[in-house]
Amino acid sequence: MRVLGIETSCDETGIAIYDTEQGLLAHQLYSQVKLHADYGGVVPELASRDHVRKTLPLIQAALQQAKLTSADIDGIAYTAGPGLVGALLVGACVGRSLALGWQVPAVAVHHMEGHLLAPMLEEDAPQFPFVALLVSGGHTQLVQVDGIGQYTLLGESVDDAAGEAFDKTAKLMGLDYPGGPRLAAMAAEGRSGRYQFPRPMTDRPGLDFSFSGLKTFAANTIAAADSDPQTRADIACAFQDAVVDTLLIKCRRALKQTGLKRLVVAGGVSANQALRQQLQAFATQINGRVYFPRSEFCTDNGAMIAYAGAQRLLAGESVDERIKTYPRWPLEQLQALS
């Protein structure tokens, strides 16, 4: 089965074609970073308008890349949520309309399920069950995954997500949008130990996260410190160390609580090299395994949507002609696949 995947949940237009026998055949991605940079963050109306302009040309480019025509597509998967409602509607309308015109089934995909399954696109894919750390600009969650659609939420952020805290702290330091990767690059030049930041919610039981207080601590530290480049780098390093340590502590607890030794880390922040190094070292210590998607599939992309949609289409799942999106959509509401 060849599935066209459409991702338009926020500020990236991602299109991909996945073949259930041959694997990924095409992958096209357009980022709106330059569009939103002047505003310091995503402007929903501008994001939606840009998806309207880019989605169909990227679909044509993906078909050309795979040397296919619309007649070769067996199903369409589109992101239905969670995300920005206007942006979601663009992908849903295009996906459902093409499915109707091409007379193929369509399936609505959960954005976070796409991230969670992104490591399945790699040759060395994880086996079920495992614990997943979903860490991005909008979400920080720990999930026990027993199979596709078989998700148990173990913990989540009660306020800012980790990626959101990265971006907001970067903005406090005057870094351009998107701030998270720029802050991580600055942290690489910093000296660890000069500043000590708290590790929020690690001094109590549980697997929930909180990063808003860490952002406030960073704001106060920045306001009181000198503005020379080394000091700024040291603050960035201390902030990143705190986020990474917090995520590591919670992952350790989650694996101990579930008795599992396989950890999947996905979402935009999973590209952070400090986080990858720390989790790899931890997995080695416990004789476990940690799995990451390749860097290009850490951020939003069509490949993860095409893969997740293909699994659900193979199981007989599809949507009717009504177009529905779900700006808020708990993972636990998804149907489990046998």
Which residues line the annotated binding site for Fe cation? 111, 115, 300
Which residue ranges make up the annotated binding site? 111, 115, 134-138, 167, 180, 272, 300
CB 289 within 8 A of CB 261: yes
Task: Show the tokens assigned to 313.
Answer: 């289409």
Beta strands in 21-149 (DSSP E): 23-31, 75-81, 106-110, 130-135, 140-147
Q: For tokens 């173990």, name the residue.
A: 154
CA of 96: how far to CAs of 68, 231, 319, in Å?
20, 52, 9
Which residue ranges make up the annotated binding site for substrate? 134-138, 167, 180, 272
Q: Which of 66, 131, 69, 65 is nearest to 98 (CA)?
A: 69
Please give the Cα distance from 221 to 218 (Å, whole number).
5
Q: For tokens 């979903």, name the residue.
A: 134
Please give the Cα distance from 309 to 192 (Å, whole number).
43
Dihedral angle computed from the Cα positions of residues 105, 44, 117 and 320, in that order, rounded to the nearest 10 degrees: -20
Q: In 152-228, which residue ranges form alpha helices assigned H by DSSP?
A: 162-172, 179-187, 212-224
| Letter string b/e over residues 213-224, b meaning 16 or more CB atoms within 10 A of that residue's CB | ebbebbeebbee
Region of 192 please: left (phi>0), alpha (psi -120 to 50) or beta: beta
Helix or strand run (H / E) with residue 262:
strand 262-266
Sign of the C-alpha dihedral computed for residues 334, 79, 112 and 63 taken in this order: positive
